[in-house]
């Protein structure tokens, strides 16, 4: 039986140029931790200070090997954790739940991502440019996988291995654990301690005191409810990784009627699967699955065209999903449909093919061949 606390110990405030801020723990969470039975095992989402130095040096060494050097990597234990440790270390046992080997893997992917993204390339063909875009996007996904999923798994492994009584981790991890409950740990209660970024924003706007001299507080919620958008962000990443690894957005025995992309320059990012669930003459209804979530659609499918309106289900989508109806209009080219989509604020091109599965690059090449 383990108490779980979700922490957001900082963030970015400002408008055009953001300023990163770190928060102090609330008095409430300090009081709760200090009131625990003496000798409790408190697990923190952090490494030791010595391990953070190792991780930072590893990043710098990898960067030097690839021909660039980063002076200020920014790896360190957050001040929030330092304040927690200072407040309770004399009465409880601190367990550091992070794993430095996982951070070393994250460093390797991040170095490759920045190297490829910043390369000054000349492309002889559209395919070469698309392959570079896909390589960059896929490395970004793998980086997020290590940072969000692999670290997540290591945290859970170390919680189980150390028989921790109380766990303090980032809210992205904790909300996901409380929502899915597929980790084999009995979290008996859930509270959050969240940086008060709204007050920090107001201070930045109205106060003459520099931000460096302003203490960002945290808001404590005793009986917390997981933020659905944080959970949906994780689901979106899992969908993108499933496409990368298995060629499908969603698993299941039912195959889509059409697949396509609404982002031809970055075809995996905009890849979607369209399932027709109802037909009435030329009228069709169904769902569309992409990396942002689930959408409903209804429209008209004829031998020459496929026009429909898409509505993202905002209860099943990330914050990136457009909250308004999106119109799609297309004309048939053999088994493909080429057209445009958008609303009153924007228009863009898309391609869709009557197929259960397609290589995203091939879809994009077909799109550009028809322009």
* DSSP state letters, 292-335: TEEEEEEEEE-SSBEEEEEEEEEEEE-TTS-SS-EEEEEEEETT
Same domain, 335 and 280: yes
The count of structural domains within the chain is: 2
Same domain, 212 and 260: no
Res 266 pLDDT > 60: yes
Closest residue by Cα to residue 129 from 364, 359, 337, 339: 364
CA distance 237 to 7: 21
Final residue of a structural domain among 196, 226, 256 = 226
CA distance 244 to 291: 11
CA-based torsion, 204, 207, 211, 215: positive or negative:
negative
The answer to whether residue 233 sits within a structural domain is: no
The answer to whether residue 184 sits within a structural domain is: yes
The answer to whether residue 80 sits within a structural domain is: yes
The answer to whether residue 236 sits within a structural domain is: no
Give pLDDT tens digits for 206-247. 666 665 656 788 999 999 999 999 999 999 999 999 999 999
**228, 315 Cβ separation under 8 angstroms:** yes
Same domain, 282 and 193: no
pLDDT category, 306, cuts 50, 70, 90? very high
Give pLDDT tens digits for 31-55. 999 999 999 999 999 999 999 999 9
Same domain, 294 and 264: yes
CA distance 50 to 274: 50
Q: Tell me what pLDDT residue 165 has.
A: 94
3-state DSSP call for residue 179?
helix
CA distance 197 to 218: 9
Give pLDDT tens digits for 130-143. 999 999 999 999 99
Same domain, 353 and 219: no
Tokens 């200070």, located at residue: 49
Q: What percent of the chain has pLDDT over 90?
A: 78
Q: CATH no. for residue 275?
A: 2.40.128.30
The answer to whether residue 239 sits within a structural domain is: no
pTM: 0.90
CA distance 65 to 309: 50
pLDDT category, 10, cuts 50, 70, 90? confident
Largest CA-CA distance found in the chain, in angstroms, rounded: 75
Same domain, 73 and 147: yes
pLDDT category, 269, cuts 50, 70, 90? very high
Tokens 């929502």, located at residue: 179
Token couple for 193:
């301690």
User: How far, in Å, are 16, 181, 299, 324, 325 from residue 345 at the CA level?
Assistant: 22, 40, 21, 10, 11
Token couple for 120:
């000054």
Residue 120 DSSP symbol = -
Token couple for 83:
């304040």
Same domain, 143 and 76: yes
The rounded mean pLDDT for the chain is: 92
The answer to whether residue 82 sits within a structural domain is: yes
CA distance 309 to 304: 17
CA distance 347 to 338: 14
Same domain, 54 and 194: yes
Same domain, 264 and 218: no
Same domain, 16 and 123: yes
Bridge partners of residue 169, in order along the sequence: 6
Q: Tell me what pLDDT residue 203 has.
A: 63
Q: Tell me what pLDDT residue 197 has.
A: 82
The answer to whether residue 240 sits within a structural domain is: no
The answer to whether residue 153 sits within a structural domain is: yes
Same domain, 193 and 292: no
Residue 258 belongs to domain spanning: 247-369
Distant-in-sequence, close-in-space partners of 9: CB < 8 Å, separation ≥ 6? 22, 23, 78, 79, 80, 81, 170, 195, 218
Residue 66 DSSP symbol = T
How many Å from the N-terminal Cα to the C-terminal Cα in the chain? 60
Give pLDDT tens digits for 179-191. 988 788 999 999 9
Final residue of a structural domain among 226, 258, 279 = 226
Same domain, 137 and 276: no
Q: Tell me what pLDDT residue 300 has.
A: 98
CA distance 195 to 217: 6
């Amino acid at each position: 039986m383990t108490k779980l606390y979700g922490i957001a110990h900082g963030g970015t405030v400002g408008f055009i140029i953001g300023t990163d801020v770190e928060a102090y723990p609330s008095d409430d969470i300090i009081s709760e931790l200090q009131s625990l039975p003496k000798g409790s095992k408190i697990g923190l989402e952090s490494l030791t200070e010595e391990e953070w130095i190792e991780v930072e040096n590893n990043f710098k060494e990898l960067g030097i090997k690839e021909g660039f050097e980063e002076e200020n990597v920014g790896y360190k234990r957050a001040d929030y954790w330092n304040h927690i440790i200072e407040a309770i270390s004399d009465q409880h046992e601190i367990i550091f739940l992070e794993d430095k080997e996982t951070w070393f893997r994250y460093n390797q992917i991040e170095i490759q991502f920045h190297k490829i993204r910043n390369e000054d390339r000349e492309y002889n063909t559209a395919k070469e440019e698309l392959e570079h875009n896909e390589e960059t996007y896929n490395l970004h996904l793998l980086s997020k996988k290590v940072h969000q999923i692999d670290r997540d798994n290591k945290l859970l492994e170390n919680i189980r291995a150390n028989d921790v009584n109380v766990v303090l981790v980032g809210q992205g991890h904790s909300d996901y654990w409380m929502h899915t409950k597929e980790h084999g740990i009995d979290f008996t209660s859930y509270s959050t301690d969240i940086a008060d970024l709204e007050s920090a924003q107001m201070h930045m706007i109205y106060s003459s005191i520099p931000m460096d001299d302003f203490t960002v507080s945290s808001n404590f919620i005793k009986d917390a409810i997981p933020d659905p958008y944080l959970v949906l962000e994780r689901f979106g990443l899992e969908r993108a990784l499933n496409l990368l690894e298995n060629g499908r957005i969603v698993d299941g025995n039912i195959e889509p009627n059409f697949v396509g992309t609404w982002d031809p320059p970055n075809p995996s990012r905009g890849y979607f699967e369209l399932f027709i669930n109802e037909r009435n003459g030329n009228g069709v209804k169904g769902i569309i699955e992409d990396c942002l979530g689930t959408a409903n659609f209804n429209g008209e499918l004829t031998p020459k065209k496929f026009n429909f309106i898409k509505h993202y289900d905002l209860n099943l989508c990330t914050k990136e999903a457009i909250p308004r109806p999106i119109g799609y209009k297309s004309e048939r080219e053999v088994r493909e449909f080429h057209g445009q989509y958008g609303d009153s604020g924007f228009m863009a091109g898309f391609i869709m093919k009557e197929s259960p599965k397609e290589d995203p690059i091939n879809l994009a090449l077909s799109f550009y061949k028809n322009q």
